[in-house]
Structure 1
Amino acid sequence: MTKSFDSYQKRRLQSSYISVIISIALVLFMIGILGLTLLKSTKVANHFKEKVAMTLFLKDNVKKDSIQNLRTFLSTQPYTKKIIFVTKEEAAKTYSKDIGEDFLQFLGTNPLKDGIDLYLKADYVTPEKMEDLKVNFDKNNLIAEVSYDKPLITLLTKNIKRISFWLLILSCFFGLIAIILINSSIRLSIYARRFNIKTMQMVGATKGFIRRPFIWQSIKLGMIATLIALIGLGTVIYYLNKLAPSLALVKDYISLTYLVGGIIVTAFVITWLSTYFATQRFLNLQTDELYY
């Protein structure tokens, strides 16, 4: 009879461990997907920002040495992503191709100017910073005019802020759900062993001594769940990389390192804290309260 009961208890305990692992793995997988979305949304936003150019139109009859010095100066500035020098002849060919006819035949002369397309780093693509740069460039004796798409920059900045805000809200919401679900799963597994906790306490074991094996057991289950979640997340990333190779998911080692590290730390912290407070609750209960 005793062996049968012990076997039943063992199966019940194993079943609770499996449910805890599955619950934690699913939650961590969800957190991983959300984390990947957050990381790549920043990359995508920066990608679009760095496609916006500020064009510096040069004055007529500027010497080649002066142009080269200006290009060298711009290339060394912290805000510069890349620069492209466009001569007025190249600009005329591009414009003629766009309108479908050679406008130089009607005008006789080329009214366009040599220009430098300045592509900024993502941090500098904001209405305020680009306006400050424009003011500084207007003071340069070599530059006749500075042009960039102000409405586009304003719209891009507003949309990125709006998307980032809602992603942050969504992250907090799912993070709270993750904590609640993992905490509930661990508490249920410890609830099944509440009588063991109280028995150990009654024979003189300290709270720290009682808690220690439960915490290590939960951390082990959390690490197993983390491995399962990472395998699932790796599979998703592999197939997403095939569908959208431009995102470079597999080659973005920095983002992947942050993602994996974040999931491992999250699993460790939540399982440790949940187990600590769950065992503390049962340690503080009276014997007759264990039945409720």
Structure 2
Amino acid sequence: MASSFERYQKRKLISSYFSVILSIFLVLFLLGTLGLFIMNSEKISNNFRETIPMSIYFNDKATTAELEQFHRDMEIAPFVKDVHYVSKDSAAKSHQDIIGEDFLHFLGFNPLENSFDIHLKGDYVVSDSIKNIELDFKNNPLISDTVYDKQLVELVNENIKTITFWILVISSFLAVVAMLLINSSLRLLIFSSRFIIKTMQMVGATKSFIRRPFIWHSMKLGIIGSLLAIAGVFGVSYYLDSKFPSLGLGFKEDYFPILIISVGIFLVGIIITSISTFFATQRFLNLKSDELY
């Protein structure tokens, strides 16, 4: 009979450990994933901004040498990510492929202009910077027009600000939930040992002596949960890099953000479990014997 009861108690204890580790893992994994996105939010937002093209059209007065010089200048310009030259002949061919008719034969001449398609670096695709760049281009007498989607630039920047704000709000909320959830799980685990705590106290053990093994044990559970969460974050980052390379996260090339998040997850797991266990054991240490029931 005693053996069956001991096995039942052991299974119950293992189940409690598992629930605590699972709680720690889920909460820290969510926090770590959000933290990863927050650390890379600028890289993600710049990647979206850099997909917005700017087309620069040159009038017929521009010579081949001047076009080549402009191309070289754009390749070394600090605000340019990449530049692509589109001749009037290749532009005409593209238009013919789109409309399905030879409009050159109908008009008798090519009305299109030589142009450059430029993608600006993300930091410069904001209202003030891109307007200054546009003005500089328009001051060039050889440039007839500069075209980009102004509404799209404003929309992208507004959406990025909104998304960043809500990610920070959600992260803060999850941080609070994490502490409450982990604290609740650990309190339930320590609740099952309340009689042992009181017995040790009655035979003269000090509070610090009683708390020490419980804190150390919860720290081990926190370490296990943290390591599982770190493995989950690594898995998510690898998956995003493999399946969505267009995001430009580059986790495979730059491990620094993941390492920072991993250290943060590890420390948070240890700190939260230690603090929660401290206060949970303190509560039972302060209870009277008849209040344990």
What's the TM-score, normalizing by structure 2?
Answer: 0.78
Query: What's 2:206 paired with?
Result: 205
1:9-48 to structure 2, matched below 5 A, reads: 13-32=13-32, 34-35=34-35, 45-48=45-48
Distance 1:54 1:239, change over 3 A: closer
2:281 to 275, 279, 282: 279
| Separation (CA, whole Å) in 2 of partners of 1:15 and 1:96 | 70
Give the C-alpha shift of residue 219 in structure 1: 1.7
Distance 1:182 1:141, change over 3 A: same
Give the C-alpha shift of residue 186 in structure 1: 1.4
Deviations 1:7-41 (A, max 9, x none): 87666544432331122223334445555666787
- Structure 1: gaps (5+ residues): none
| Separation (CA, whole Å) in 2 of partners of 1:290 and 1:248 | 58
Give the C-alpha shift of residue 146 in structure 1: 1.4
**Does structure 2 conserve the Cα–Cα contact (< 8 Å) formed by 1:195 and 1:290?**
no
1:1-292 to structure 2, matched below 5 A, reads: 13-32=13-32, 34-35=34-35, 45-198=45-198, 203=204, 205=206, 207=208, 209-231=209-231, 251=252, 254=255, 256-283=258-285, 285-288=286-289, 290-291=291-292
Deviations 1:83-124 (A, max 9, x none): 111122222222222222222223323222222211012232
| Separation (CA, whole Å) in 2 of partners of 1:66 and 1:238 | 45
**Does structure 1 conserve the Cα–Cα contact (< 8 Å) formed by 2:47 and 2:247?**
no
Give the C-alpha shift of residue 181 in structure 1: 0.8
SS of 1:174's equivalent in the other structure is helix
Distance 1:179 1:286, change over 3 A: closer
| Percent pairwise identity | 45
Distance 1:200 1:141, change over 3 A: farther
Q: For residue 220 of structure 1, what is the amino acid of its counterpart?
A: K
Distance 1:15 1:165, change over 3 A: same
**Does structure 2 conserve the Cα–Cα contact (< 8 Å) formed by 1:88 and 1:114?**
yes
Give the C-alpha shift of residue 130 in structure 1: 1.5
| Separation (CA, whole Å) in 1 of partners of 2:278 and 2:153 | 50
Q: For residue 271 of structure 1, what is the amino acid of its counterpart?
A: T
Q: For residue 223 of structure 1, what is the amino acid of its counterpart?
A: I
Distance 1:113 1:241, change over 3 A: closer
Distance 1:72 1:280, change over 3 A: farther
- Structure 2: gaps (5+ residues): none
Report how many aligned residue pairs link the two structures.
Answer: 290
| Separation (CA, whole Å) in 2 of partners of 1:172 and 1:178 | 10
| Separation (CA, whole Å) in 1 of partners of 2:77 and 2:198 | 68
Higher mean Cα deviation, 131-140 or 56-65? 56-65
SS of 1:119's equivalent in the other structure is strand
What's the TM-score, normalizing by structure 1?
Answer: 0.78
Give the C-alpha shift of residue 206 in structure 1: 5.6
Q: For residue 265 of structure 1, what is the amino acid of its counterpart?
A: L
| Separation (CA, whole Å) in 2 of partners of 1:248 and 1:65 | 35
SS of 1:61's equivalent in the other structure is coil
SS of 2:93's equivalent in the other structure is helix
